[in-house]
């Protein structure tokens, strides 16, 4: 302190805690406070050598009471509330007028805080995260984050030189939410939350769990974005969606990885197409081919290209690889205007261990289960969500609703459902914990899945939920009221495996394996199935769809044509991964484009593509091929 402590209204240890970045209640110290006979205004402004409080015509200089930039002014006769700004003079002599975030009252409503504490704030994205906001006539951004065990949380960004001491947040004990309104910030502002934990003085900068946009990897800051300003033009589609996506309608899905469907060459280098370019090229192609839907491998922000999007760090942000959130909205809008539904792969089963992500968020296992036997995945090296925690279930369900609400998504294909359902999934004896009844079923995950499906179907009738579930778990597509999981459709992994196994045999040997082909009809109507030949079947040395087929080149094409004809005539909705429709020879890789040159002058590849086009159109317009897909009444052996 540069002056005797008693001359001022704040204790030395409080000042040191603010300057040192370990004060957990900054609003108790900073901003305006009543004192005997008036008020005192305090500020921590390490970038300033002089500070003047400006209130209308009044100008009152603040006294620097600590050399590192802690200022105070006492104002006898003044009373709260008070409207003021600071005129600061930097060490370079430049002056600027700034707002004081600590003069504003709490902005987060009591209702939101209460519902969050109960785990019932199911559209948390409307209040949590970073939102353009106005308070007392000042425009800025309201930041909010959940971090119950943090010692201190701050907003950091370019606006404060990423200094975590500058903008510490207000803590709400009942909800464990931290908030701060920062006037003067705008859309496009980069930010993170700096969290000082109680764990061995560990301090970490985290991306916003509810951030609406983010930086391109390898950078990983969140970006302020207004997701409410886009003007949609798809009302006709949305109104008709419940009928379009009913179980008796044709659903033929083209599965796409946006970064490798096609690439463009710029200055000798290959680049991704943007969301805008994909709308111009991909959508007409899907229309031409007769598909009803596009299914996108995960678009939520992710740091590692090789994860294909299945290791998410930004659950509420479409990846910046291909453009802005508004441009992705325009892509979906264009799909709808073209009569094409959009399904997203959604990943609530696990998340990566990247330091800026959800893991060990506030110095504790906040989003993941603390016991590694339930909280970490042995195969993927990722964390598993703690489905028994109210706030975690709320986060995931809110995220699902977010994509349906703000991006008008038509369906969610839930990844790796089996890994959620079973506590012993991919674990040896002694590596898992039984449930309270001694079984291997993950009851918390089951309850979460049912609640997710109930909320989606209640709030967005006609939206599809699709399970990638690889076991024989009963009732995946049965109503939750009947003890089912509540999905609309389930990927028929058994059919896919058996069918590919059968077709990989030379035709001369197939008569010995007819049971493999017919077995699927024993259970085809036990669930509402989708028949997938997905990206998982054309990677990791499994070979491309064409190269799986036996025989010489002519025979491979003939067998693949037969396989697709069988798929389109078998009961169940259809899904084919990109490249399969024209016969890729190579396995798929996220690092390169599909081999479109194969269609140049090669009648075999062009003919296969034409067959898929014809199958789609036959399937769409011939009711016997798509009605009663889930009932014996719609099938008869010839």
For residue range 85-112, what is the model confidence (pLDDT) as tens digits?
Answer: 999 999 999 999 999 999 999 999 999 9
Structure-block tokens of residue 467? 């399970």
| Distances 389 to 116, 119, 448 between C-alpha atoms, Å | 12, 8, 10
DSSP string, 300-334: EE-S-GGGTT-S-SEEEEE-GGG--HHHHHHHHHH
Structure-block tokens of residue 394? 């709320």
Q: Binning pLDDT at 50, 70 and 90, where does residue 635 land?
A: confident
Q: Which of 179, 345, 468, 537 is catalytic?
A: 468
Q: What does the pLDDT look like over 514-560, one tens digit per residue?
A: 888 889 888 999 999 999 999 999 999 999 999 999 999 999 999 99
Contacts of 64 (CB under 8 A, 6+ apart): 2, 49, 50, 51, 70, 71
Question: With 60 as the cut, is the pLDDT of residue 177 above it?
Answer: yes
The mean predicted confidence, pLDDT, of the chain is 95
Decide if 226 is catalytic: no
**CATH number of the domain bearing residue 200:** 2.60.40.10
Phi-psi region of 355 (alpha: psi -120 to 50; beta: other; left: phi over 0): alpha
Same domain, 59 and 151: no
Q: Using the 3D structure, point to which of 81, 100, 119 is the last residue of a domain.
A: 100
What's the confidence (pLDDT) of residue 41?
97
Q: What does the pLDDT look like over 478-503, one tens digit per residue?
A: 999 999 999 999 999 999 999 999 99
Q: Using the 3D structure, point to which of 100, 129, 161 is the last residue of a domain.
A: 100
Decide if 444 is catalytic: no
* Alpha carbon distance 340, 357 (integer Å): 33
* Alpha carbon distance 248, 70 (integer Å): 69
Structure-block tokens of residue 493? 């992994």
Same domain, 148 and 84: no
Between 201 and 34, residue with greater pLDDT: 34
Q: Binning pLDDT at 50, 70 and 90, where does residue 5 land?
A: very low
Structure-block tokens of residue 313? 């760090």
391, part of any domain: no
Same domain, 138 and 70: no
Q: Which of 368, 415, 451, 527 is catalytic?
A: 415
Q: What does the pLDDT look like over 373-429, one tens digit per residue?
A: 999 999 899 999 999 999 999 999 999 999 999 999 999 999 999 999 999 999 999
Same domain, 137 and 196: yes
Q: Using the 3D structure, point to which of 56, 82, 100 is the last residue of a domain.
A: 100
Q: What share of the chain is helix, strand, coil (3-state, %, to 5)?
A: 30, 25, 45
What's the confidence (pLDDT) of residue 559?
97
Question: Are the CB atoms for 347 and 415 separated by under 8 Å?
Answer: yes
Question: With 70 as the cut, is the pLDDT of residue 6 above it?
Answer: no
Same domain, 116 and 90: no
Question: Are the CB atoms for 484 and 478 separated by under 8 Å?
Answer: yes
Same domain, 96 and 114: no
Helix (H, G, I), strand (E, B) or coil at 635: coil
Question: Are the CB atoms for 63 and 37 separated by under 8 Å?
Answer: no
Domain that holds residue 120: 110-223
Question: Are the CB atoms for 182 and 155 separated by under 8 Å?
Answer: yes
What's the structural domain count of the chain? Answer: 2
Question: With 80 as the cut, is the pLDDT of residue 49 above it?
Answer: yes
* Alpha carbon distance 203, 210 (integer Å): 20
Question: With 80 as the cut, is the pLDDT of residue 569 above it?
Answer: yes
Contacts of 181 (CB under 8 A, 6+ apart): 101, 104, 107, 133, 135, 140, 141, 142, 143
Same domain, 96 and 184: no
What is the model's pTM?
0.94
Same domain, 90 and 147: no
């Amino acid at each position: 302190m540069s002056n005797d402590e008693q001359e001022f209204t704040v204790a030395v240890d409080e000042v040191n805690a603010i300057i040192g970045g370990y004060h957990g209640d900054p609003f108790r110290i900073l901003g305006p406070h009543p004192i005997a006979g008036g008020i005192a205004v305090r500020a921590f402004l390490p970038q300033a050598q002089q500070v003047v409080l400006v209130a209308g015509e009044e100008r009152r200089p603040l006294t620097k009471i600590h050399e590192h930039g802690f200022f105070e002014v006492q104002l006898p006769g003044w009373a709260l509330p008070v409207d003021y700004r600071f005129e600061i003079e930097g060490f370079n002599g430049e002056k600027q007028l700034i707002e004081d975030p600590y003069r504003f009252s709490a902005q987060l409503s009591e209702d939101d805080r209460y519902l969050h504490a109960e785990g019932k704030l199911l559209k948390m994205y409307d209040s949590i995260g970073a939102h353009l906001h106005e308070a007392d006539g000042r425009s800025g951004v309201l930041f909010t984050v959940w971090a119950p065990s943090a010692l201190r949380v701050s907003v950091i960004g370019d606006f404060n030189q990423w200094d975590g001491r500058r903008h510490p947040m207000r803590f709400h004990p009942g909800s464990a939410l931290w908030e701060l309104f920062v006037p003067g910030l705008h859309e496009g502002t980069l930010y993170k939350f700096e969290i000082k934990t109680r764990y061995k003085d560990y301090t970490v900068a985290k991306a916003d769990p509810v951030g609406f946009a983010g930086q391109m990897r390898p950078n990983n800051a969140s970006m302020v974005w207004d997701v409410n300003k886009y003007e949609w033009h798809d009302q006709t589609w949305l109104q008709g969606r419940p009928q379009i996506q009913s179980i008796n309608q044709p659903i033929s899905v083209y599965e796409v990885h946006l970064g490798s469907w096609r690439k463009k060459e710029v200055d000798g280098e290959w680049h991704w197409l943007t969301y805008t370019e994909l709308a111009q090229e991909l959508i007409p192609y899907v229309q031409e081919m007769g598909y009803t839907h596009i299914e996108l491998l995960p678009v939520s922000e992710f740091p590692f290209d090789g994860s294909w999007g299945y290791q998410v760090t930004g659950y509420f942000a479409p990846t910046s690889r291909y453009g802005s959130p508004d441009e992705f909205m325009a892509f979906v809008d264009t799909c709808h205007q073209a009569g094409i539904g959009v399904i997203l792969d959604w990943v609530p089963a696990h998340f990566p261990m990247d330091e800026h992500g959800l893991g060990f968020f506030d110095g504790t296992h906040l989003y993941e289960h603390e016991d590694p036997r339930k909280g970490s995945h042995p195969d993927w090296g990722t964390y598993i969500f703690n489905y028994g925690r109210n706030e975690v279930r709320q986060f995931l369900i809110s995220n699902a609703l977010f994509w349906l609400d703000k991006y008008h998504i038509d369906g969610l294909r839930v990844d790796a459902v089996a890994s959620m359902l079973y506590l012993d999934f991919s674990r040896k004896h002694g590596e898992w914990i039984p449930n309270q009844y001694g079984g291997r079923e993950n009851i918390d995950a089951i309850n979460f899945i049912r609640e997710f499906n109930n909320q989606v179907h209640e709030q967005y009738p006609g939206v599809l939920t699709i399970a990638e579930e690889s076991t024989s778990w009963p009732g995946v597509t049965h109503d939750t009221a009947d003890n089912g999981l509540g999905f609309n459709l389930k990927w028929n992994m058994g059919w896919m495996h058996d069918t590919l196994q059968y077709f990989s045999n030379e035709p001369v040997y197939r008569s010995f394996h007819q049971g493999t082909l017919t077995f699927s009809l024993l259970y085809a109507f036990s669930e509402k199935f989708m028949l997938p030949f997905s990206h998982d079947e054309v990677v990791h040395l499994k070979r491309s769809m064409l190269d799986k087929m036996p025989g010489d080149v002519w025979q491979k094409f003939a067998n693949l044509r037969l396989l697709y004809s069988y798929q389109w005539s078998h009961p169940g909705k259809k899904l084919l991964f990109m490249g399969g429709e024209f016969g890729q020879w190579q396995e798929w890789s996220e690092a390169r484009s599909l081999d479109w040159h194969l269609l140049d002058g090669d009648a075999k590849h062009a003919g296969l593509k034409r067959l898929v086009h014809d199958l789609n159109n036959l399937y769409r317009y011939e009711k016997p091929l798509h009605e009663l897909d889930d009932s014996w009444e719609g099938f008869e052996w010839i």
